[in-house]
Amino acid sequence: MTDSNPSNTRDAEYLAKLQDYYADWKSIPSYASLCDVFGIASKSWVKAILDRLEKAGFVERTPDGMWIPTSSFFARHVADASVPAGMPVMVGSSHGDYHVIDDMLIDTPSKTTLIPVKGDSMIGAGIHDGDLAVVEKRNLANVGDIVVAIVDGDFTLKTLGKEGGKFVLRPENPDYPVIHPQGTLEIFGILVGLVRKYK
Amino acid sequence: MTDSNPSNTRDAEYLAKLQDYYADWKSIPSYASLCDVFGIASKSWVKAILDRLEKAGFVERTPDGMWIPTSSFFARHVADASVPAGMPVMVGSSHGDYHVIDDMLIDTPSKTTLIPVKGDSMIGAGIHDGDLAVVEKRNLANVGDIVVAIVDGDFTLKTLGKEGGKFVLRPENPDYPVIHPQGTLEIFGILVGLVRKYK
DNA sequence: CATCGTAAAGAACGGGCGTTCTGTTGTCAA
DNA sequence: TTGACAACAGAACGCCCGTTCTTTACGATG
């Protein structure tokens, strides 16, 4: 992150075009096609650009010589809120950092699942119908955690509470009742992240 | 799953090998390299396999003829039984694209920025302090969109409204006043996603 | 036993791809 | 005014890549 910015002035915008292309096609095309993508006419210059992007750590090559993106290729800039409007398309600017959302939210991929939220029983916690819950599977949770429990063979997202020595599932919406599970409470996992997509 | 499985008996294991390779290299190599990957010696048979995988919907081709994976290429095989209805999506694991969330939220990487939310002025829309706003940069928005505007050199997240022919910035919290911008309203971008991390 | 379909092997070919080298601008500094 | 450098353009080349065609092995079927 410190020094991974391209040396040449326009490389940032070439990188941006490449990132947009990759978002569409999930591959880096031939030099000839990259000429169109970059808006230039010379294959040799395309190679020069990619060589610099490689040195900057945004792309690398397979043993076959194929170009592939690195993890920093996918990183998004997190704006420093105090930064005024300016901030054009600059890569590797001095402050603010870069993050891949998946990496942020998911620690252990093998134990993490995505579950769509239905209903508004947790609206008090800012969890809306249609949101995507990022859930880490485990069967132990603390009071106060938002957990995914299995009730009547269905997933339900509630805050884990305790009443009179027994665990309860508390919705974050006064219109819904607190669930007092009979017998053992089966916990599927705990909420570690939330994702919402607009429009 | 009914129809999208490969017709030939061994295609499933070829697909598995291809998925493993893709997990390592994030690209589909040349036919020659695929011979090694598949453990066969004939390029023409590699092409036959890929043609069938294409017909089955696991791979497709760019306009340049490059092979690229489709979304069902990454689809997880659902662990049978014991999983109640709802069917969560497993992310990560042995072979998978780990950029599911990023892909979901970000259409145009070069125009997308992450901005941390501060304050609770949008709490009515389920946007809390500390959340991460996924913002697509553009200066046009529709009434009703949640936009990032620049007010006094600082980012502010509000719903775009209109009052008496003039645009206003409406917080989703009765404790905050509606902002009536003097002069022109400078819009930085519109909210396309929201990310929250717990703990 | 003959036939068929599947699963490959292998050769042959034409074009496109990556590489390298050289040429052409425009800009800035001295 | 000269020269240096960045930012490309363009051509030339050899090899590798994708495609197609032909051939082989083998199990099932009848």
**What residue spans define the domains of chain A?**
11-99, 105-195
What count of Cα atoms within 13 Å lies in the side-chain half-sphere of residue A74? 22
Q: How far is CA B16 from each of CA A108, B23, B27, B73, B137, rounded to the nearest angstrom? A: 22, 11, 14, 10, 39
With 0-12 CB in 10 A as exposed, 13-18 as middle and 19+ as buried, what is A29? buried
The pLDDT tens digits along chain B (199 residues) read 333 444 567 888 999 999 999 989 999 999 999 999 999 999 999 999 999 999 999 999 999 999 999 988 887 655 444 444 455 666 654 444 567 899 999 999 999 999 999 899 999 999 999 999 999 999 999 999 999 998 877 789 999 999 988 899 999 999 999 999 887 888 999 999 999 999 8
- Residue B37 phi, psi dihedral angles, 5° rounding: -60, -45
- pLDDT digit string, tens, across residues B63-115: 999 999 998 888 765 544 444 445 566 665 444 456 789 999 999 999 999 99
| B109-195 CATH pick, 1.10.10.10, 2.40.50.110, 2.60.120.10, 2.10.109.10 | 2.10.109.10
CA quadruple B102, A102, B111, A43: dihedral, nearest 10: -80
Mean pLDDT of chain A: 87
Same CATH fold assignment for domains B11-81+90-98 and B109-195: no
Residues of chain A numbered 33-92 and touching chain B (CB < 8 Å): 33, 62, 64, 66, 68-69, 74, 76-79, 81-82, 84-85, 89
Residue A154 pLDDT greater than 90, yes or no: no
- Min Cα distance B7 → chain A (Å) is 26
The CATH T-level fold of domain A11-99 is Arc Repressor Mutant, subunit A (1.10.10)
pLDDT attached to residue A93? 42
Fold of A105-195: Umud Fragment, subunit A (2.10.109)
Q: Token pair of B34, please?
A: 């695929």
A190 to A2, A140, A194, B91: CA distances (angstroms): 35, 8, 11, 15
- CA end-to-end distance (rounded Å), chain A: 32
Contact (CB<8Å) B108/A155: no
Alpha helix positions (H), A39-145: 43-55, 71-74, 101-105
B146: nearest Cα among B121, B109, B111, B164: B121
Alpha-carbon torsion (B34, B39, B41, B47), positive or negative:
negative
- Measured in angstroms, the CA of B177 and the nearest CA of chain A are apart by 21
pLDDT value for B81: 40
> Which amino acid, residue A22?
Y
Which residues have CB under 7 A from strand D?
A 8-10, 35, 40-45, 48, 64; B 30-33, 43-44, 47, 65
Nearest residue for C22, CA–C1': A44
pLDDT for res A151 = 83
Domain range B11-81+90-98, CATH class: mainly alpha
Q: What is the mean pLDDT of residues A24-31?
A: 95
